[in-house]
A and B are shown apart, each in its own frame.
Chain A
């Protein structure tokens, strides 16, 4: 019998070490590993380096004092505004920031997936992303537990030697210590099936030293192998699987549930101040030992109202969907 990769959330999050460069699946408030992040906060992680974005889940880590630096493309939570804890910490100079472009993140993951040290493009030309005065890569490298996860330089400009199209930018591969990804389905050996946007995750899973999957449902591996074309992360790239129902609440999970708008509004409102965030975290992170207690606290009727309906995969607004 093949070895099962299923472990507990507590054990899985213990694999994240202080000072690791972490990347989390989904984007903004959708298909985010929220329950996993609650556990990282409970375990009191320190000096994590956020790659990619600082949106809903990353912002919670910032508020809880788990983060020393951020390198990415986005520090907001969509319609809910600028990520409130990230805003507060950045404005106070408490975390180091290095902005890169959105395609730069894609390019970096493509390079890492291909096992290439860098890749060339013409993105972010003309912008302050290339301003040497705003280059904090060296500073962030100095904060990392594994400095070699981060590049020695932000970028290099050179002339296109092949097609003569002028200047190109060389982007370093975007490498990750730990990738945590919440998905709809995983098998016990780690095969993953995601619905909805794959975001960067089908590339990031090959760019990380450790890949931790939290799954809404763990299903028989054999079931996912009946149709391998529908799977986007192979078992060969996954280290651990945790079953975590409603693991993306209060965000959306296509085909499972819609967004809990009042919950996110409450989070965003409270997180504008240190005391407010503490109050929120005491209620929802420390006020529940685990996901089961968290769901009990939310209550069955609240969750029931968010259930997605076929064929849409979300809850239509005429049936009480997110607005």
Chain B
């Protein structure tokens, strides 16, 4: 029976595991209100609504309140987000609930993450005026990561993306810059609520130490060697607390593949 309920490593992709564990993280937020970024966070949220938390209320930054898309959207202002919403306004109405302190959780991606959960989605390199790589900019991530009561981060696990220090601090994690000097301080010191509670990669689930706020490996996905997580991380990450994550259920895979994203729009397989 066990073998029928659970999928074995090799029967799912790393991207599918990332989405499925992301959706499980949202089981704790049934009945709560969140702001979700487009891409992997949105697909994981879509799956969570089907499997774990049907009463989650989703706000989208282009001003949809309680969005209920029937098809996974391609874009942050996709027409698919409008139909079925309670309210359709614009970006101010979509984002201001964050600053009013109403948002229980935020779910976002990024290009680089550092050991304190700070994200960079602005540029890679050392010269702002002639960057090695220009990225997307602040978009909604900075505001979601600043004001949600809890933030969940998701992105693929790659050595060049998970670093000691990000090139540009776009979205505040636990240790942030206090201006005008730019001194690194705890986020509470600049008046920010919340903070990142977990980073779900394509290899495992990272959390942040209660005291030091430094990222450590909490769970590795079935089939992943925790040493491989260490090798694929750009700083010396603590794997001493790592345990194997609960296995993926076949039903989770079925709902992801057949219901949430039947056409593989998000290319998870």
Enumerate chain A interface residues (CB-CB to B < 8 A): 26-31, 53, 72-76, 78-79, 82, 86-87, 90-93, 96-97, 99-103, 105-106, 109-110, 121-134, 136, 157, 165-167, 195-203, 252, 254-255, 258-259, 261, 308, 311-314, 316-317, 321-323
Residues in chain A near residue B129, CB distance under 8 A: 93, 96-97, 136
Known: A197-B77, A199-B90. A314 touches B136 (CB 8 A): no
Q: Is B169 close to A, CB under 8 A?
A: yes
Residues in chain B near residue A53, CB distance under 8 A: 137
Distance of A96 Cα from B128 Cα, bound (Å): 10
Distance of A166 Cα from B178 Cα, bound (Å): 13
In the assembled complex, how far is the CB of residue B87 from the closest CB belonging to chain A, in whole angstroms? 11
Q: Verify B90–A321 contact, CB threshold 8 A.
A: no
Residues in chain B near residue A167, CB distance under 8 A: 190-191
Distance of A78 Cα from B80 Cα, bound (Å): 14
Residues in chain B near residue A258, CB distance under 8 A: 79
In the assembled complex, how far is the CB of residue A123 from the closest CB belonging to chain B, in whole angstroms? 6
Enumerate chain B interface residues (CB-CB to A < 8 A): 38-39, 61-64, 70-71, 74-83, 88-92, 95-96, 98-99, 122-123, 128-140, 142-143, 146, 168-172, 176-180, 182, 187, 190-192, 263, 265
Nearest neighbor of A168 in chain B, beta-carbon distance: B191
Q: Verify A31–B137 contact, CB threshold 8 A.
A: no
Q: Verify A252–B177 contact, CB threshold 8 A.
A: no
Known: A73-B139, A131-B177, A252-B75. A126 touches B128 (CB 8 A): no
Distance of A254 Cα from B134 Cα, bound (Å): 31
In the assembled complex, how far is the CB of residue B117 from the closest CB belonging to chain A, in whole angstroms? 12
Q: Verify A312–B79 contact, CB threshold 8 A.
A: yes
Distance of A194 Cα from B213 Cα, bound (Å): 46
Nearest neighbor of A93 in chain B, beta-carbon distance: B130
Q: Verify B146–A78 contact, CB threshold 8 A.
A: no
Distance of A281 Cα from B187 Cα, bound (Å): 47
Residues in chain A near residue B172, CB distance under 8 A: 125-127
Known: A103-B95, A308-B79. A124 touches B138 (CB 8 A): yes
Q: Which one, B75, B136, B190, contacts A126 given CB within 8 A?
A: B190
Distance of A101 Cα from B137 Cα, bound (Å): 8
Distance of A103 Cα from B95 Cα, bound (Å): 7
Nearest neighbor of A81 in chain B, beta-carbon distance: B136
Q: Which one, B38, B61, B137, B143, contacts A72 given CB within 8 A?
A: B137
24 A-B contacts (beta carbon < 8 Å) = A28-B77, A30-B75, A30-B79, A31-B77, A73-B138, A75-B135, A75-B137, A79-B74, A97-B128, A101-B142, A110-B92, A124-B138, A126-B190, A131-B177, A134-B128, A157-B179, A195-B82, A197-B63, A197-B89, A202-B89, A203-B92, A252-B78, A252-B79, A321-B71
Can you name 6 extra interface pairs (CB under 8 A) apart from A79-B39, A127-B138, A322-B74? A102-B138, A103-B95, A126-B177, A128-B168, A202-B89, A323-B263
Q: Verify A131–B182 contact, CB threshold 8 A.
A: yes
Distance of A110 Cα from B92 Cα, bound (Å): 8
In the assembled complex, how far is the CB of residue A315 from the closest CB belonging to chain B, in whole angstroms? 9
Known: A103-B95, A123-B143. A131 touches B132 (CB 8 A): no
Known: A93-B129, A97-B128, A123-B99. A198 touches B79 (CB 8 A): no
Q: Which one, A26, A86, A312, contacts B134 given CB within 8 A?
A: A86
Q: Verify B169–A127 contact, CB threshold 8 A.
A: yes
In the assembled complex, how far is the CB of residue A294 from the closest CB belonging to chain B, in whole angstroms? 22
Q: Which one, A30, A157, A201, contacts B180 given CB within 8 A?
A: A157
In the assembled complex, how far is the CB of residue B59 from the closest CB belonging to chain A, in whole angstroms? 12
In the assembled complex, how far is the CB of residue A125 from the closest CB belonging to chain B, in whole angstroms? 4
Q: Verify A196–B190 contact, CB threshold 8 A.
A: no
Distance of A78 Cα from B81 Cα, bound (Å): 14
Q: Which 3 A-B pairs have the closest CB atoms?
A: A126-B176, A198-B90, A76-B136
Q: Verify B95–A129 contact, CB threshold 8 A.
A: no
In the assembled complex, how far is the CB of residue B244 from the closest CB belonging to chain A, in whole angstroms? 33
Nearest neighbor of B80 in chain A, beta-carbon distance: A314
